[in-house]
Amino acid sequence: MNLIFFSRRQGKARHLNLSHPLTVTLIGLGSFALLAGVFAAGIKVGVKGVSMGALGEPAAVAQERAELAGLKTHLQQRIDGLAMKMGMLDAHMIRLNSLGKRLTQMANLSSREFDFDHDPALGGPESDAAGRGAQVPDLSAMINQFDRRLDFRSTQFSALEYVLLGRQLSAEIRPTGKPVMAGYISSYFGERMDPFNGEEAFHKGLDFASDAGTDVLAVAQGVVTWAGPREGYGVLVEVNHGNGYVTRYAHNSRVMVSAGDTVQRGQAIAVVGSTGRSTGPHVHFEVLKDGRQIDPISFVGH
């Protein structure tokens, strides 16, 4: 097979014999070189693609690791917060249990009926439904519900304590006991002969004969409403105890309190004397209920 080439400049024709061994060899070498170049270019493109993939994969993994670390940190923060919340609730429960014990003792309740040392007994049939472990949202809801129950229980306990303290205060302000540590009743409440004129008269209190200079004691907690001389009573101390109760301590030689002072049961408020309409050292003791004198003997005891 012959190939004919024409040259315009020289106007000549050249023949190339394709069947010549040298021509075949040159064509083969050229084809091989072309194929080798194409193969090398393909390998270079492939290597570049692999390199880009190798560089891209670590970046994605690093990002996922960063996101996972962030999730772990957030979860740990929530767990720490829940642990702190549970610690606060536990401390609150301990305080409520202590308060419950104190109220039980104050109210004289049986510890078997109102036991704060042990958790209440629980029970019931098992459910047929398949159970599942508690999740963080479920745990948060349980803690919030428990917190609300504790707040409600705390309010109930506070109300109960208020009632019990009110009872205790009522006991503190109710007149109880004698106005002197040492002495005897020399005249009772009711009708008697007047020691000055011998006529029948109504005695509105109890007289306690005692040595001059003996302390006169308040028989209940209250506020002093009078401290000084009053006609017929001599030097008088009057104490308002609330709930309609007032006590009077008359014929003192001097007073140890002033109007407006708060006094406690057993506190010395005056000194035994014989001022006013008196025949000797003693304390004229009156108890008034809603403005009317009543017999103090039920408050004094025997």
The reply to whether 46 falls in a domain is yes
pLDDT for res 114 = 57
- What does the block give as tokens for 8? 């315009």
The reply to whether 43 falls in a domain is yes
The reply to whether 125 falls in a domain is no
- Boundary of a domain, candidates 31, 57, 79: 79
The reply to whether 107 falls in a domain is no
Looking at the structure of the chain, the number of domains it has is 2
Q: pTM (2 decimals)?
A: 0.51
Range of the domain at 257: 184-300
pLDDT for res 109 = 61
pLDDT for res 17 = 55
- Boundary of a domain, candidates 79, 98, 129: 79
pLDDT for res 26 = 58
pLDDT for res 281 = 96
The reply to whether 146 falls in a domain is no
- Boundary of a domain, candidates 79, 110, 128: 79
The reply to whether 291 falls in a domain is yes
pLDDT tens string 204-229:
999 999 999 999 999 999 999 999 99
CATH of the domain at 245: 2.70.70.10
Q: Which residues of the chain have pLDDT under 50?
A: 5, 50-55, 133-134
The reply to whether 15 falls in a domain is yes
The reply to whether 252 falls in a domain is yes
